[in-house]
Structure 1
Amino acid sequence: MNLKRYLYSLTPGLTRLVDDVSVEDYMAVDLSLQQKDLHTIATSSSQFFQSYIDSYLHTHKKKVAFGGYLEKRNLYNRSPYFTSDKENPRNIHLGLDIWCPENTAILLPLNGKIHSYQNNINHGDYGPTIMVEHQLKDQIFYTLYGHLSLNSLDGIKINCELQAGERLGYLDDAEVNGDYAPHLHFQIIRDLQGNSGDYPGVCALKDLEFYQHNCPDPNLLLKIV
């Protein structure tokens, strides 16, 4: 079966990644280059950006902001980790972000086992990261959870079996999570290409065709909208 159709078939409706949130609590947010509101704040500052997200949710009376798949962003211009290749900067987001407070519990959407984990400490990187392998019927794919807390990695064991709905970890603040407002980066990956504990979550335009195929839209599984 085509992986996109397969992912969509796995869940009947909203599949929660964060605890105690209903579909009515979510609000889509646009963080692309075209979002004029972002031109008025210092997106290089995690503190100012968190204020923007907090104000956005308060205005719309929602708990969680989400979005960002294949979104072209200027958030990454602040870090040489994404801009070292001046001709081909990496600024297209390959996962789905869930913006909510630090210490929010993150839940596993499907049965799986721990593939790998790592604290990715580059400026603007994931910070503490967990990757889970899913083998359901004849399909194998992976999910990545970035911007977690350091204690989310405590006691974790490779190949440990986990059940859908089980707590995987917690979100943390900018001091730990790569210097962002608290959020989860959630990404689906077909082929890890030999990576362990890390996988690109942002790509350059020249590589978009490959990564769009290798990292399908997470909302096929989550069905937030």
Structure 2
Amino acid sequence: MNSNLLSSILSQTATTDLNVIDASISKTDYIAIDLSKANPDLNSFDISSSKAWEDYINQYLKQHNKQVAFGGYLETRNLYNRSSYFSAQAETEQRNIHLGLDLWCPANTSVLACFEGKVHSFKNNTNFGDYGPTIILEHCLDNQVFYTLYGHLSEASIANIKIGDIIAQGETIASLGEALVNGDYAPHLHFQIIIDMQNKLGDYPGVCSLNDLEFYKTNTINPNEILGL
């Protein structure tokens, strides 16, 4: 499927009423955040520490009197340098370009299905810096199949689900995990819209290299536009 076609279909459903975390949090309580390597604030703390990240995010939210910080689609970040899981010798092979939307808010925040669909797959991705518990849903709109990925969840989120489970739009499917289980990050949801899963189960790249960027631009959709952010 063409990414422009899916973008067009999804744009017709785009609304501030679409949510992927606790719907009681108003979109007016969201604020954009820049976590790219261009942000000088990130030089002021240890970016290898999930606790330091959590402190930074919490302070940012407090400073702006907001509840959720969001952003990151196609953002080039240095924070992945801490993990060999993303490293490469050549700079153009370094996986540091983010392919989803991050929503930074407290652990245990409810995670909601953005669209109706079914459970495609799930897995606890336990590499350092990986997703931790992850759920992938399969959807069909106007006869076009696509997928949404929800990463950095709690372990309980994948304890009692089954492949093929039918999911309603807006249904609570999970909760956010703490650093101990979510890949060692400050609590947040990684939300990604994928066209072709490429036969992957319970996992799909959420970060890519410059060499692979053009492909992933055509196989992912910017979630900000769909959520009306």
Normalising by structure 2, report the TM-score. 0.95
Matched ranges for 1:11-90 at <5 A? 11-19=14-22, 20-87=24-91, 88-90=93-95
Contact 2:138 / 2:148 at 8 angstroms: preserved in 1? yes
| Aligned residue type for 1:166 | E
**Separation in 2 of the partners of 1:3 and 1:85?**
35
The alpha-carbon deviation at position 17 of structure 1 amounts to 1.2
| Aligned residue type for 1:126 | Y
1:5 matches 2:22 = no
**Separation in 2 of the partners of 1:143 and 1:157?**
16
**Deviation string, structure 1 residues 95-117 (Cα, Å, up to 9, x no partner):** 00000000000011110100000
Query: What runs of 5+ residues in structure 2 fail to find an aligned partner?
Result: none
The alpha-carbon deviation at position 23 of structure 1 amounts to 1.2
Relative to structure 1, the CA distance from residue 85 to residue 157 in structure 2 (aligned partners, 3 Å threshold; closer, same or farther) is: farther
The alpha-carbon deviation at position 11 of structure 1 amounts to 3.1
The alpha-carbon deviation at position 158 of structure 1 amounts to 0.6
**Separation in 1 of the partners of 2:90 and 2:215?**
20
**Separation in 2 of the partners of 1:96 and 1:12?**
16
Equivalenced residue count is 224
**Deviation string, structure 1 residues 40-65 (Cα, Å, up to 9, x no partner):** 11111000010000000000000000
| Aligned residue type for 1:157 | K
**Partner SS state of residue 120, structure 2:** strand
**Separation in 1 of the partners of 2:142 and 2:35?**
36
1:159 matches 2:173 = no
Normalising by structure 1, report the TM-score. 0.97
Query: What runs of 5+ residues in structure 1 fail to find an aligned partner?
Result: none
Matched ranges for 1:92-107 at <5 A? 92-107=97-112
The alpha-carbon deviation at position 14 of structure 1 amounts to 3.9
| Aligned residue type for 1:117 | F
Contact 2:15 / 2:227 at 8 angstroms: preserved in 1? no
**Separation in 2 of the partners of 1:135 and 1:24?**
30
The alpha-carbon deviation at position 169 of structure 1 amounts to 0.3
Runs of 4 or more, structure 1, over 4 Å off, are: none
The alpha-carbon deviation at position 13 of structure 1 amounts to 3.0
RMSD (CA atoms): 1.1
Contact 2:9 / 2:142 at 8 angstroms: preserved in 1? no
**Separation in 2 of the partners of 1:97 and 1:14?**
18
**Separation in 2 of the partners of 1:12 and 1:173?**
29
**Partner SS state of residue 81, structure 1:** coil
